[in-house]
Chain A
């Protein structure tokens, strides 16, 4: 009975991460960008779990736990900021949020 090597999971993790980066750069809606960040974090979580499995240690899982918690906090605050931005600029297009320039 053949088994799935860990590298498969890692490659999947890399692919998801890359797609997350592409979405991050490509999309224009702020909320979508935040979701792309969440996608990247998820990909990383997958890698952690895969490594935890590969080395037989629990530390990877603990790390995943913390990543999820931090992602939650970040999503909460980030979305609050998005609401604020929407109230100020009346738009969710990230290119409209361009006041921090030279």
Chain B
């Protein structure tokens, strides 16, 4: 039992616990908070994988902005416990087993994949600490077009959100 393993399991179990809480929580606000927990642990995992910039972005943008937006909306709409309606027989009987099946299927293949044997950190791993500089070089050279397209996408999203949420005069 070495430190990487222990760290990994701590973060992993936290993430899984957070996901389970998301499913099991009755109030949406509890679900939102557990999702934040998941994101935090994922950020820890990113750090373990040597992607510091992504970890930072995850916390700042994802947990810090998007989840805050969710929480705001929940508070705005005063979302509480939902009534128990059960109109979809399909979802009730087939949905969950299928989800579990998907989970197991993916996990199995991921576990047995060839690439999975590569060590992620420590000796033998591609010991490259990714610097932000390298990342931005990639971003602005190879992936310039998607970058610009994404900025337009954000613009459209802003406009869309504005138009949609506007109060009718």
Binding site for B on A (CB under 8 A): 1-29, 31-32, 34-36, 38-39, 42, 45-46, 49-56, 58-59, 61-62, 64-66, 68-77, 79-84, 86, 91-93, 95-96, 98
Report Cα–Cα, A96/B91, bound state, in Å. 15
Give 10 nearest A-B pairs by CB, closest first: A18-B103, A7-B116, A25-B95, A56-B126, A3-B122, A73-B157, A14-B106, A10-B110, A22-B99, A3-B119
B153 at the interface (CB under 8 A from A): yes
Report Cα–Cα, A70/B156, bound state, in Å. 11
Report Cα–Cα, A45/B127, bound state, in Å. 20
Select A4's contact among B4, B99, B104, B134, beta carbons within 8 Å. Answer: B4
Whether B54 contacts A2 by the Cβ 8 Å rule is no
B:153-169 near A, CB below 8 Å: 153-154, 156-158, 160-162, 164-165
Binding site for A on B (CB under 8 A): 2, 4-5, 8, 12, 15-16, 19-20, 22-23, 28, 31-32, 35, 38-39, 42, 45-46, 48-51, 53-54, 57-58, 61-62, 65-67, 69-70, 73-74, 76-77, 79, 82-88, 91, 95-96, 98-100, 102-104, 106-107, 109-113, 115-126, 128, 130, 134-135, 138-139, 142-143, 146, 150, 153-154, 156-158, 160-162, 164-165
Whether B57 contacts A68 by the Cβ 8 Å rule is yes
Nearest A residue to B109 by beta-carbon distance? A14
Select A5's contact among B39, B76, B116, beta carbons within 8 Å. Answer: B116
25 CB < 8 A contacts A-B: A4-B8, A4-B121, A7-B111, A7-B115, A8-B12, A9-B45, A11-B107, A14-B106, A16-B15, A21-B98, A24-B99, A26-B99, A31-B70, A39-B38, A46-B45, A61-B51, A62-B143, A65-B139, A68-B61, A70-B150, A71-B62, A72-B154, A77-B157, A77-B161, A79-B69
